[in-house]
Amino acid sequence: MTILYVKQKLFSMGGHFTVTDQQQHVVYTVQGSVMQLSKSFTINNRNNQEVAKVTHKLFSFLPTYEVEMNGKLVATIRKKLTLFRAKFEIDAGEIEVDGDVFGLNFSITKDGHEIATIHEAALSLGHYYEIDVKDDQFTHLVVAILLTIDYVKQQESQADMDSATY
């Protein structure tokens, strides 16, 4: 079992931030692409080795992201079209996300067994998440799923703000 923390600063250029453990040691660094048409971000371990890369697929009806690990596609994350609640379809072998995705308080299950829970801290400047990974073999994938959902949330929030100014 591993507990990790993601703390993102508001308006960080290129989406550079860290994921830390309970002792505040850096476990992952995350670097988003800057000035690229297709948004992507890379997750590196503490030895600066890439453990996952998430890429936004440009030509899809709904937001779609691919997660690669060791050069292989391991998951496709799609936002589903729903009226009241944000839902994501994750094609990664019986992995599901359940809970309040846009409040970022949800769990991730595989084959019906909970492998992680994610909670967003209320009243924090920027985004601050606690990730409780119950099955360590899925840690990289859980971090990639959280960051993808958070990115979609930020994009939709920005779109709402942009449309409100007209």
Between CA 158 and CA 146 the distance in angstroms is: 18
Between CA 126 and CA 89 the distance in angstroms is: 26
* Greater pLDDT, 4 or 162: 4
Q: Give Cα separations from 111 to 79, 93, 96, 135 (angstroms).
A: 20, 8, 8, 13
Whether 120 has a pLDDT exceeding 50, the answer reads yes
* Greater pLDDT, 122 or 145: 145
Between CA 69 and CA 50 the distance in angstroms is: 8
Contact between 127 and 120 (Cβ < 8 Å): yes
Beta-strand relationship, 113-120 and 127-133: antiparallel
Whether 71 has a pLDDT exceeding 60, the answer reads yes
Mean pLDDT of 43-50: 95
Which residue type, as a one-letter code, is found at position 5?
A: Y
**pTM: predicted TM-score of the whole model, two decimal places:** 0.84
Least confident among 5-19, 56-70, 87-101, 152-166? 152-166
| pLDDT band, very low/low/confident/very high, at 11 (cuts 50, 70, 90) | very low
Most confident of the following: 87-91, 99-103, 123-127, 144-148: 144-148
Compute the radius of gyration of the chain from its Cα atoms.
15
The CATH code belonging to domain 2-164 is 2.40.160.200
